[in-house]
């Protein structure tokens, strides 16, 4: 049964060959033996850098079923997910991940594309992204400054008061 779900994820990825604004990353969310969400990377078409196949499949499943938790679901994807997608999977409770292409395969894809057109060049590889995301906030390459903590703590307190 797992094979059919991976075949579907790859079929979705194949749509990108002829669909402008998409990339060949497709995914499906599966729960209780049924596909409950599907997604194709539409980052360029949607002008949304978070529109990866995995995130789109999770969004689709959540919308279709009016959920914000997919606890116990599996995700099948055509390519090893980036850190953003993995974080999203953890956030919603994906239990198992199945993937076709490795991160190195994606890196090779973009290197080949960028050799013909610089628009395909990436600011950092998935490996570099994983490293940066895993660092404490004050050790990342991206500058970060905490501001007005007391103000947001007051908002949090008001929220707790209203909702408990």
Determine the length of the chain.
164
Give 43-54 as a DSSP string. HHHHT-TT--HH
Task: Write down the catalytic residue from 54, 56, 128, 150.
Answer: 54
Q: Assess whether 38 carries a catalytic annotation.
A: no
Query: Is residue 48 left, alpha or beta, with left meaning phi > 0 and alpha meaning psi from -120 to 50?
Result: beta
The catalytic site residues sit at 54
């Amino acid at each position: 049964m797992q094979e059919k779900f991976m075949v579907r994820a790859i079929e979705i990825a194949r749509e990108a060959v002829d669909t402008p604004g998409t990339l060949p990353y497709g995914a499906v969310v599966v729960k209780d033996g049924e596909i409950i969400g599907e997604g194709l990377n539409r980052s360029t078409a949607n002008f949304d850098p978070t529109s990866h196949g995995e995130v789109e499949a999770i969004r689709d499943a959540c919308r279709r079923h009016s959920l914000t938790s997919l606890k116990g679901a599996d995700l099948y994807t055509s390519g090893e997910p980036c850190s953003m997608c993995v974080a999203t999977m953890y956030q919603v409770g994906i239990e198992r991940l199945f993937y076709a292409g490795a991160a190195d395969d994606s890196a090779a894809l973009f290197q080949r594309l960028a050799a013909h057109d610089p628009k395909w060049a990436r600011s950092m590889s998935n490996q570099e992204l994983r490293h940066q995301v895993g660092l404490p906030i004050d050790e990342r390459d991206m500058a970060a400054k905490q501001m007005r903590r007391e103000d947001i703590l007051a908002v949090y307190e008001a929220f707790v008061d209203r909702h408990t």
